[in-house]
Structure 1
Amino acid sequence: MTYLNCAATSYWHPDCVVDAVTSALRSLGSTGRGAARGELDAARTVMLARERVARVLGFSHPERVVFAQNATMALNMAIAGVVRAGDHVVATDWDHNSILRPLHYLAERSSVRVDFVPADACGRLDYDALDRLVTPGTRLVACTHASNLTGNVADVRRFVEAAHDAGALVLLDASQTAGARPISMDELGIDLLAFTGHKALMGPQGTGGLLVAPGADVEPLLSGGTGVLSFEEGMPEAFPERLEAGTLNGHGIAGLSAAADFVWSEGLHDIHAHDLALVRRFVGGCRSIPAVRVYGSFPSDLALLDGSDCGRDHAPVVSVNLEGWDSASLAAALDEDYDIAVRAGGHCAPRMHRALGTQDTGAVRFSFGYHTTADEVDLALRALGELASEDESDEGDEAHGA
């Protein structure tokens, strides 16, 4: 199978990740739940994972790396832990339902006001609107680092500047970028960063977390056992235990630790360059197929897509539609006829689809990973070209799946 659905999950995992999970299953006890060898080994494994994740994400406080089961849980932890009744929040049209739905819940039940930075028909955010919407009294500004639909990359510095000038906190959703490119939480001044372990980091599913900068006050989403301070009625004040209730996924975290170490050893700049080369190759090939429509903002000269700034950067995500095909039928044909895995539909990004005008048709998303090769990209392009030619030869027939 040619797996081009890496924005959903990494199908490929380094051997070190598989080995780490297997070893942990055979040897680790429960973190903080005893002083025997297995429990101490678990505690050491989890602490090492915090350090390695912090290193990859440019964060100098590994003790404030809080583990969760995925980015969705981490985003819920951040939003529910920061936003209070009557607060004002600014989000964007790029955001995933992992941000949109928690905000909708709070807006309905706690009179939270939410404004959205709009995106245009090419998926570009309106940064002038950001400056207008973020005002003194805004509590939280949520920023998706890279759209999971178009792959366009946000100007995080603009978000941080606008938020901090107004006294607000910044929450960065790094689901599509953690492990795919260099990120420095410290340098950028990000207050809260949510990540998942199973996408570009190439770790196990069921892993992720929230990085909480000093000074960011986050109330616990969950309460329960932490293994320490058992006689206190409330959750501990100290991190990471403050936000980690219940037994951690030590086996998955061992795999995440190995994945973060692998990504670091391979080099985030090299991984980023590899991904950008695939994006340039794929978009350039799509431009030679007239029936293919590519969504998002790309320079006319793809050589400019070099990652030197956010306007010349891109996550390894490209969404398209093919004239004469609906997105579900196209994805099915790619799977059945070419053994290519992609994702069609709404991608949990309803506002982004409305901005692009694809809310009725959906789109077909091709997303690449560190294991993806140029030959696999070329296979996808050949498949699109042949399916486009097939549709042209069926003159007079109804559109596929329409």
Structure 2
Amino acid sequence: MQLRYFDNAASSWPKPTTVVEAMNEVVVKFAANPGRGSHQMAVQASRVLFQTRIELAKLFGIKDPNHISFCLNTTEALNLAIKGLLKENEHVICTSVEHNSVRRPLEYLKKKLNLNITYLKTNVLGQINLKDVERSIQSNTKLIICNHSSNLLGSILPIEQINKIAKEKGVITLVDGAQTAGLLPINVEEMGIDILAFPGHKGLLGPQGTGGIYIHPDIEVEPLIHGGTGSQSENIEQPIIRPDRYESGTQNTPGIAGLKEGVSYVLHESVEKIHSKEWKLTQRLMEGLLKIQTVKILGPKLGDNKTGITSFNIEGMEASSVAFSLDRNYNIAVRSGFHCSPLAHETVGTLELGAVRASVGYFTTVEEIDYLLEAVKEIVQKNKR
């Protein structure tokens, strides 16, 4: 039975063939340490990293590619920014739909550094009141963190307006691009983004174990990891130069080569085209689910702008049971549970229920959407018996 994949919010699948080919080429032909040698294999590996930075800079409107550092994922990038910026007794603002990759580091620093945290409440649609942002800024506010799009609701936050408020108050902004990098237009200059954390394995169509962070050149962030960088090795201290300052140890050259091809694919297709297709597919899915009795959709309403995420519950059924049935009986892959975002579930009143999350990707088809809808209808009918 053919697999229907609806878990693109966790990792996109399938990948473009060029991604797989690029990774294989590195492993077979020049799997040497980038930046650690002057021989031709090492130079070729280094070139892959730099070319990938260039592609990412094009996508995100970044002037100098060297201010992009590679990370294992968005979680590592967020930890680098949060733990490298915040100091004792400082104040930070974030939203009530943040991922645990933001909440847990903040709560850790709250105990360690007496950090003061304000969680701005969104409504059940995932929308935020900009006046609440302005009112929450204090004299010791150092940082405002917000995810560009909720990984539970698919709602899109107005980060450009939030960043504008922050700039007027001299506050640094950190954007979690886990659900929007490669799926929504992001320009760090135009949108006033000081720090951007992003994954390689979702909308950028690269492999798992890739991602990165952009840090504005005027902002100093303490490294999360110290060690070998291949530069300034005679110094006891971590190098100041970027990206070396934030890239200790051997980099994932095969993965980054795959990421480069993923980003190139996105640039060729265009973010606008990708978002348009995913939005239309999501609207078809939502429209179909709304016609099924006992199904409740979370987040933005039909017709609203959102990412390709549709979270829902079936009355009288546990989310995990629905996901299990979809997997075993229909060969449909979805995600169930709390999606590492208990704050978001608390916001929309599903903290005890969790939710089934179906997330489309650029390669999802209309036929797959309709197949999922028929499967949900059958599950609902069986549950009534």
TM-score, normalised with respect to structure 1? 0.93
Q: Verify: 1:242 aligned to 2:245, yes or no.
A: yes
Q: Quote the offset at 1:58 in angstroms.
A: 2.0
Q: Note if 1:323 corresponds to 2:325.
A: no
Name the counterpart of 2:25.
23
Shift of the alpha carbon at 1:185?
1.1
Q: What RMSD over aligned residues (CA atoms) do the two structures have, in Å?
A: 1.0
Q: Percent identity?
A: 37
Q: Check whether the contact 1:61–1:213 (CA below 8 A) recurs between aligned residues.
A: no
Kindly indicate whether the alpha-carbon contact (under 8 Å) linking 1:87 and 1:112 is maintained by their aligned counterparts in 2: yes
- How far did residue 316 of structure 1 move? 0.5
**Which residue does the alignment assign to 2:326?**
334
Q: 1:362 aligns with which of 354, 360, 366?
A: 354
Distance in structure 2 (CA, Å) of the matches to 1:127 and 1:297: 18
> Of 346, 349, 362, which aligns to 2:341?
349
Q: How many matched pairs?
A: 382
Q: Distance in 1 between matches of 2:345 and 2:278?
A: 24
Q: Say if 2:222 is the partner of 1:230.
A: no
Deviations 1:235-262 (A, max 9, x none): 1111101111111111111110111111
**Is residue 61–residue 187 contact of structure 2 (8 Å, CA) maintained in 1?**
yes
Paired residues of 1:137 and 1:167 also in contact (CA < 8 A): no
1:76-99 residue CA offsets vs partner (Å, 9 max, x unmatched): 011111111111100111110000
> Which whole-Å CA distance do the structure 2 matches of 1:160 and 1:70 have between them?
23
Q: Deviations over 1:274-304 (max 9, x none)?
A: 11101111111111112110000225xx2xx
2:44 equivalent in structure 1: 41
Find 2:370's aligned residue among 337, 355, 378: 378
2:140 to 123, 127, 137: 137
Code of the aligned partner of 1:284: E
What displacement does 1:189 show? 1.1
Secondary structure of 1:119's aligned partner: coil
Q: Quick one: distance in 2 between partners of 1:47 and 1:135?
A: 40
1:93 to 88, 93, 96: 96
Alpha-carbon distance in 1 for matches of 2:256, 2:324: 34
Residues 1:103 and 2:134 are matched in the alignment: no
Q: Are residues 1:14 and 2:6 paired?
A: no
Q: Give 1:272-283 correspondences, 5 Å limit.
A: 272-283=275-286
Q: Which residue in 2 is equivalent to 1:388?
A: 380
| Alignment correspondent of 1:195 | 198
Match for residue 84 of structure 1 among 83, 87, 97: 87
- Amino acid paired to 1:329: S
Give the AA of the match of 2:247.
Answer: E
> How far apart, in 1, do the equivalents of 2:87 and 2:210 lie?
27
Unpaired runs of 5+ residues, structure 2, are none
Unaligned runs of 5+ in 1: 306-312, 395-402
Q: Contact 2:125 / 2:155 at 8 angstroms: preserved in 1?
A: no
| Structure 1 ranges of 4+ moved more than 3 A | none
Give the match's secondary structure for 1:186: coil
CA displacement at 1:162 relative to structure 2: 2.0
Classify the secondary structure of the residue corresponding to 2:322: helix
Structure 1 position 126, deviation (Å)? 3.0
TM-score (norm 2): 0.97
Aligned-partner Cα distance in 1 for 2:199–2:383? 39
The separation in 2 between residues aligned to 1:383 and 1:126, in whole angstroms, is 38
Distance 1:61 1:173 in 2: 20
The answer for the alignment partner of 1:60 in structure 2 is: 63
Q: Does 1:218 align with 2:210?
A: no
Q: For 2:225 and 2:131, locate their aligned partners in 1 and report how far apart those are by CA, in whole Å.
A: 37
Look up the equivalent residue of 2:296 and give its one-letter code.
R
Match for 2:132: what amino acid? A
How much does 1:329 deviate?
0.3
